[in-house]
């Protein structure tokens, strides 16, 4: 299955995996899920909205990444997926 992956599981980073899907599905694993799970989901949703993407499987393994890092990693993962599909 074609996927796009970006990031790492180093501290303050996140590893994001995306793949084509028939709907939007976001799976969040995070060391700070209780405190920031909703914010992580919000950043992912906002980024996908900006990119005009409505259907995608997104898995994030978050190690305490800030919003900018989550957004950057998601954009890179999607670009890599697109390059795989090209």
Partner 1 sequence: MRRSLLFIPADTPGMMQHADVFDADAIIFDLEDAVLPDEKDAALTLLDHYLQSFPLAATEIIIRINPMDSPYAARDIKGVVCDQIDTILLPKADLKSLKKLDQTISKIESDQHMTKPIKVIALIETPAAVLDAALIAQAPRVDGLLLGGEDLATALEVERTSEGMEIFLARSLIVLAAKAHGIDAIDTPYVNSRDLEGLAADARRARGLGLNAKACIHPNQVETVNVSFSPTPEDIAYAQKIILAQKTHDKGVFAVDGKMVDAPVIKRAERLLEKARHWKLVKP
Where do contacts with partner 1 occur on this chain (CB under 8 A)? 6-7, 10-13, 65-69, 71-73, 75-76, 79-80
SS3 of residue 24 by DSSP: strand
Token pair 């919000």 is found at: 42
Q: Are 30 and 12 spatial neighbours (Cβ–Cβ below 8 Å)?
A: no
Residue placing its CB nearer to partner 1 in the complex, 32 or 66:
66
Alpha-carbon distance of 59 to 13, in angstroms, equals 14
Shortest CB 21 distance to partner 1, Å: 22
Give 22 or 83: the residue with its C-beta nearer to partner 1: 83
Nearer to partner 1, 7 or 44 (CB): 7
């Amino acid at each position: 299955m074609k996927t796009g992956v970006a990031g790492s599981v180093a501290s303050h980073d996140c590893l994001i995996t995306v793949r084509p899907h028939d709907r939007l599905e976001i799976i969040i694993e995070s060391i700070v899920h209780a405190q920031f799970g909703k914010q992580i989901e919000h950043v992912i949703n906002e980024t996908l909205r900006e990119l005009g993407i409505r259907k995608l499987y997104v898995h994030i393994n978050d190690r305490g990444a800030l919003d900018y890092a989550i957004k950057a990693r998601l954009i890179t993962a999607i670009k890599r997926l697109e390059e795989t599909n090209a």
